[in-house]
């Protein structure tokens, strides 16, 4: 994020609790083994940015009322989101479906959205004002699985800050809920996709044999910049041309005319290498790229449409830092391509779930180390183009940094905002790194934009 320092003053109303509009089942539901992964027990805050609806100035609907009403209807279907997250005696997570309701905050801003560039390049402290009481430490994570904050701006536009527990939904599940909310806001009588719970489908069992981790502590690469409390969060815009040039370069380098690389494979490899360089990881140590792969359709039988829990596993590639830095990048891309096939085996998925269950029962926690990068691709969630609350699709989506793995191991690929036509087909790369390593990472990202078909120019 280009850190545009802005003085944003908000006038806040009192918190209201939005309850389901009809009676809902009162029950205690278990979350799955993937859901119960302690790493996911955080509130993921995302801001959706909407311009004013100028098509009907006489009929300006108050976004607060529209969303509140739609939320109340949506909670009839997604009633667990109106409950509270609980921890059972065995440490597993569940939801007490008690229709307690969703905390909802309304605010008005003293400026127009355009003065904040529709949140493009917004600094983190300003972004945090637009979500509901963003808890900074994991211990304070709210036991409400869902919170909302709607902020109205002088221009008539608004932002919708949604905080959703990652223990209850993954990105796919969150976008399914968000779509349902928009459909109900636009007058549909029910969501087109009905939510399905069925978390028991993804329960793991304790493994007898010792756990094998992709990297052990002794061989893990270390960075002189980690650990640190000083973390920078930035979002890098890469247009379609830059990505196309990178792919052409990789195809040329791999000498295989038939070879084709996806954006995730090509850009994932480039970001992984750039990050290792920026962090000055120890060259003989090991580093890992973990790609989050959705398994809804890969499971046999597949999960039902409407399943909104966490349904992803990691496909991992492990290299020494020296290999990552010195091997042709096309070789790294091929390894990533190959690793994506792993989750298509049911055995791999089951083993991953059993491993998570074993780690949970043995209280083995994964911490952020800078040696790994966990890559999540949000571009497939169609959140920018399809979700309309009655005032056209959002022009921007901004994640507020989540404290997963100490922030530093998470990398998001986001769809470009709808503000800059030249970004069509591009990607926004969202990273959190130790402050001291960000200038070098920025340099690597700039080199990618300047790439002219001669990869040599970006080698440093």
- Answer yes or no: are the C-beta atoms of 370 and 409 closer than 8 Å: yes
Phi, psi torsion values for 129, nearest 5 degrees: -70, -20
For 415, the token pair is: 């769809």
* Contact in structure between 414 and 235 (CB atoms under 8 Å): yes
Q: Please give the backbone phi and psi of residue 118, each rounded to the nearest 5 degrees, phi first.
A: 50, 35
- Which of 100, 123, 133, 388 is an active site residue? 388
Catalytic residue among 35, 144, 166, 170: 166
- What is the total residue count of the chain? 460
- The DSSP secondary-structure symbol of 149 reads E
φ, ψ of residue 182 in degrees (nearest 5): -65, -40
The helix/strand/coil state of 429 is: strand
Rg (CA), the chain: 22
Helix (H) or strand (E) holding 274: helix 263-278
3 state SS of 137: coil
Give the C-alpha separation, 193 to 175, whole Å: 11
In this structure, the strands spanning 16-18 and 102-109 are antiparallel
Q: Which helix or strand (DSSP H or E) is residue 127 part of?
A: helix 124-129
Give 350: exposed, middle or buried? Use CB within 10 Å, 0-12, 13-18, 19+: middle
Question: Nearest Cα to 414, choosing from 37, 102, 26, 119?
Answer: 119
Number of C-beta neighbours around residue 55 at 10 A: 8
Please say if 166 is a catalytic residue. yes
Of 123, 202, 116, residue with least CA distance to 158 = 116
Residues acting as catalytic residues? 166, 388
């Amino acid at each position: 994020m280009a850190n545009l320092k802005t003085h944003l003053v908000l006038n806040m109303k009192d918190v209201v609790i939005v309850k389901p509009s009809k009676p809902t089942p009162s029950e205690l539901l278990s979350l799955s083994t993937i859901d119960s992964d302690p790493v996911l027990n955080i509130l993921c805050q995302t801001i959706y940015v909407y311009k004013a609806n100028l098509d009907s100035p006489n009929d300006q609907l108050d976004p607060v009322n529209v969303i509140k009403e739609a939320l109340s209807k949506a909670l009839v279907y997604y009633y667990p989101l109106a409950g509270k997250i609980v921890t059972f005696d065995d440490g597993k997570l569940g939801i007490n479906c008690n229709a307690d309701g969703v905390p909802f905050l309304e605010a008005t801003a003293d400026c127009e959205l355009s003065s904040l560039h529709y949140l493009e390049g917004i600094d983190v402290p300003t972004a945090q004002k637009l979500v509901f009481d963003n808890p900074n430490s994991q211990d304070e994570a709210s036991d409400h699985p869902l919170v909302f904050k709607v902020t109205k701006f002088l221009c008539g536009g608004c932002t919708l800050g949604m905080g959703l527990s990652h223990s209850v939904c993954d990105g796919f599940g969150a976008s399914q809920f968000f779509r349902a909310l928009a459909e109900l806001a636009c007058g549909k009588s029910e969501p087109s996709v009905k939510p399905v719970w069925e978390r028991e489908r993804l329960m793991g069992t304790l493994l007898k044999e010792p756990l094998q981790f992709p990297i052990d502590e002794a061989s893990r690469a270390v960075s002189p910049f980690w650990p640190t409390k000083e973390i920078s969060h930035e979002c890098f815009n890469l247009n379609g041309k830059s990505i196309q040039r990178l792919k052409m370069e990789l195809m040329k380098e791999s000498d295989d005319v038939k070879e084709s690389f996806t954006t995730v494979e090509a850009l994932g490899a480039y970001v992984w290498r750039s990050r290792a360089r920026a962090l000055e990881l120890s060259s003989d140590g090991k580093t890992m790229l973990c790609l989050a792969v959705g398994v809804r359709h890969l499971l046999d039988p597949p999960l039902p449409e409407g399943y909104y829990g966490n349904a992803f596993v990691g496909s991992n590639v492990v290299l020494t830092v020296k290999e990552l830095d010195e091997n042709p990048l096309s070789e790294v891309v091929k390894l990533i391509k190959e690793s994506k096939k792993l989750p298509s085996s049911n055995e791999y998925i089951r083993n991953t779930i059993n491993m998570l269950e074993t780690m949970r029962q043995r209280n083995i926690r994964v911490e952020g180390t800078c040696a790994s990068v966990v890559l999540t691709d949000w571009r497939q969630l169609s959140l920018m183009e399809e979700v309309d609350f009655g005032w056209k699709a959002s022009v921007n989506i901004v994640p507020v940094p989540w404290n997963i793995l100490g922030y530093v191991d998470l990398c998001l690929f986001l769809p470009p905002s709808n503000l800059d036509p030249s970004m069509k087909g591009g990607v926004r790369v969202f990273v959190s790194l130790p402050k001291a390593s960000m200038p070098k990472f920025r340099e690597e990202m700039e080199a990618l934009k300047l790439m002219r078909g001669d990869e040599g120019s970006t080698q440093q």
